Amino acid sequence: MNIDLETFCQQAEEFISAHYPRRSARAGSEHAAVAVIPERSAAQEAAELPEAIQWRKTTFDAGFGWIDGPAEFGGRGLPPSYADAYRQLERRYAVPDEGYTRFSVGILCPTLLAHGGPELNGRYLRALRRADIVSCQLFSEPDAGSDLASVRTRAGRDGESGDSWRINGQKVWTSGAHYSEVGMLLARTEPGSRRNAGLSVFMIEMDQPGVEVRPIQQLTGGKSFSEVFLDDARVSAQSLVGEIGRGWDVINTTLRHERAVIGSDGAVDLALVPRLIDLARRHGCWDDPVVREATADIYARAQADSLMTLDFLDRAEGGMPGAEMSLSKLRLTDNLQRISALAQRILGGSFVTELDDDFGWSQLALTLAGLRIGGGTDEVLRTIVAQRVLSLPRS
C-alpha cells in the first residue's frame, strides 16, 4: 500500500484521537511517580492490563499494530520512519501503558523474524503483535545476570523420539512473568559445554506444570519482577528458536532489540524536564543559575540523544539495530541519572524523608539502578561500544 508520510500521520492522528484524549502538557500530577520501571499495585495492574491488551488489538485491527512489519503476519510493510512517526504521535495521547506488551512487540517479534522460521512465526508473530498472547524473557539467572554465558538452566531431550525437551533450572528478574502466557527461555542443551557454546533458545508455555512464578518484592514496594522455577517443564522440539547450540546468536539479536527499545525511548527524559521545572518553581529555586543550567543541559542532551538514536535506527541494516544502540541506552541512563541528581539537589533532605509529597522522585532514584543493569550493565555496554563501534583494541 503506497501512502505518503503526511497522509499517514493524518490518518493515524484521526484514529488515535477517536479513542483517547491528548495528554496534558504537565503529563500528570506534579506528585505522580516518575519511576523509569513502573511499579503497580495488584489492583492497578488488574485494571490496566486488560485495557493495554485491548488497545493493542484495536491498533492492530486498524492497521497501526505493525506498521513496518511483513504483510503475511498482519503488517503494512511501510518504512520504519512511518512506525516512528506513529509512536511520536501516540505519545501525545493518554493511551494505555505499552509496558505490558513492550517485550512481545518490540523485542520478541523482531527476534522471531530473524530466527524463528515459518512454523514458529506463523504460530506467534500475529498473536504477539495483536496481544492475543503476552510474553516474557527468561534469560537472567541468580548466577548469570549480565553474564548470560554462565547460565545453568538445563534442557534435556525427553524420551527416545527426542521430540520434546525437559527444562530444569531457575530464572530471575523476569518482567511480567506473572501475567505472561509464553516465555522466551535460554537453556544449556549440551551437558559439559562452557560459556556461550551449547546454548539454545525455546518458547515455553508459562501455565504448564513445572513452571512456578514467585514475585520479587522491590525497594519501592512493587512486585513487577519475578523469579521463575522450572522443574521438568516441557517444550516441544518445534518450540526451538534458531538452531540447537546456536542460542548465543539468538540472544544477541534479542539484546540488540532490547537496547534499541530502551535507548530509543527518549520521551522518558524529555517528559521529565517540565516536571523538573515545576519542582524547582515549587521549591523556590528556579532562579538559581545552577539549577537552570543543569536543566538546560539535561534538555539539550535528551534532544541530541534522540536525534542520534533516530539516525542509528535509520541506518540499521535490514531492521537490525547495530552495536551503536548500546550508546543510546548508555546516554539515556546517564541523563536519567542527571535528572535524579538534580531532583535531589532541589529537594534536599526531603528527598529521603518524604516530607513534602515528592516521593515520586525517590522512586526514580530507586528504580534507575535496575535500568542501568537491564539489557546489559553500563560496563558491558561501554565495552561493546569500545570494541564493536570504535574498534578499539581489547585491554
Q: What's at 257, amino acid-wise?
A: H
**Residues 6+ positions from 113 with CB-CB distance below 8 Å:** 70, 121, 125, 319
Grid cell locating 71 = 504483510
∠ CA(20), CA(106), CA(377), 5° rounding? 120
Model pLDDT for residues 194-219, shown as the tens digit of each residue: 788 899 999 999 999 999 999 887 76
- List Cα–Cα distances, 88 to 59, 266, 293, 364, in angstroms: 15, 10, 27, 23
**Biggest alpha carbon–alpha carbon distance for the chain:** 75
Q: Angle CA(141)–CA(99)–CA(112) in degrees, nearest 5? A: 65
3-state secondary structure string, 23-40? CCCCCCCCCCCCCCCCCC
CA distances in angstroms from 359 to 166, 352, 362, 365, listed in the order given = 45, 8, 5, 10
Task: Enter the DSSP assignment of 386.
Answer: I
pLDDT band at 79 (very low <50, low <70, confident <90, very high): confident
Predicted confidence band at 132 (pLDDT cuts at 50, 70, 90)? Answer: very high
Residue 143: all three cell numbers together: 548466577
Residue 265 has pLDDT above 80, yes or no: no
Of 18-27, 30-39, 91-100, 296-305, the one with minimum mean pLDDT is 30-39
In this structure, are strands 135-138 and 199-205 parallel, antiparallel, or unpaired? Answer: unpaired
With bands split at pLDDT 50, 70 and 90, how would you rate the model's confidence at 1?
Answer: low
Q: What local confidence, expressed as pLDDT, does residue 392 receive?
A: 85
In sequence order, what are the beta bridge partners of 229?
A: 170, 212
pLDDT of res. 316: 64
Q: What is the mean pLDDT of residues 279-286?
A: 91
**CATH topology match: 135-245 vs 264-389:** no
The CB density around residue 290, as the number of other CB atoms within 10 Å, is: 10
pLDDT in tens, 247-258: 999 988 888 888
The pLDDT assigned to 187 comes to 92
Higher-confidence position of 81 and 119 = 119
Would you give the distance in Å from CA 120 to the centre of its chain? Answer: 22
Q: Which residue has the higher pLDDT, 182 or 173?
A: 182
Res. 224: pLDDT tops 50: yes
- Determine how many CB atoms are found less than 10 A away from the CB of residue 337: 17
- pLDDT tens for 24-50 read 754 444 445 566 666 677 788 888 999
Q: Which of 258, 293, 324, 354 is catalytic?
A: 258
For the chain, which residues make up each domain, given as ranges?
5-100, 135-245, 264-389
CATH architecture of 264-389: Up-down Bundle (1.20)
- In angstroms, rounded to a whole number, what is the distance separating the alpha carbons of residues 138 and 125? 18
Question: d(Cα 54, Cα 75) in Å, to the nearest integer?
Answer: 18
> For position 30, what pLDDT does the model report?
47
What's the CA gap between 322 and 260, in Å, rounded?
Answer: 9
pTM for this model (two decimals): 0.81
Is 354 designated active site? Answer: no
pLDDT digits (tens, 9 = 90+) for 142-175: 877 667 778 899 999 886 666 889 999 999 988 8
pLDDT above 70: percentage of residues in the chain? 87
Q: Average of pLDDT values for 79-107?
A: 88
DSSP 91-117: TTB-PPPGGGTHIIIIIIHHHHHHHTH
Choose which CATH entry (3.30.2310.20, 3.30.365.10, 2.40.110.10, 3.20.20.70) describes domain 135-245: 2.40.110.10
Question: Tell me, what's the pLDDT at 261?
Answer: 73
Q: pLDDT averaged over the chain? A: 85
